Amino acid sequence: MKNVIGWILTIVLALLFTFVGGMKLIGVAGAVKEFEMIGFGQWFRFVTGTLEVMGAIGLLIPGSRFWAALQIAVIMLGATLINVFVLHVGGLARVTAVLMALALALAWIRRPVHQSGRENS
């Protein structure tokens, strides 16, 4: 059962973060506006989009799933904090917090197993 849940989370998060990261990278108007409101500049949109797409790809590579899930969780932690304290959009903060929780759940499921020296796939 844990393996099935792990695969479902992997596929859903990989598809989702490929999509949202790609939208940032191609410069969809909503993403450009959102990052203008954040105030760090558009370079931050490119960095965020790149990290999201890299994390999505990493989820599909057995040896990097754990670290990719943690990377996505950290990105979603930042997104949640920015949504709450900078953009003041509580509804979106709830969405990013749920995505962070899902990424952390996947990291837990795909965590390295130290006693056998093997990693969960």
Tell me the pLDDT tens digit for each residue of 82-100.
Answer: 999 999 999 999 999 999 9
Q: What percent of the chain has pLDDT over 70?
A: 94
What mean pLDDT do residues 67-87 have?
97
First-residue to last-residue Cα distance in the chain: 14
Q: What is the DSSP letter of 39?
A: T
Give the pLDDT of residue 77.
Answer: 98
Give the pLDDT of residue 13.
Answer: 98
What mean pLDDT do residues 77-82 have?
97
Report the chain's C-alpha Rg in angstroms: 15
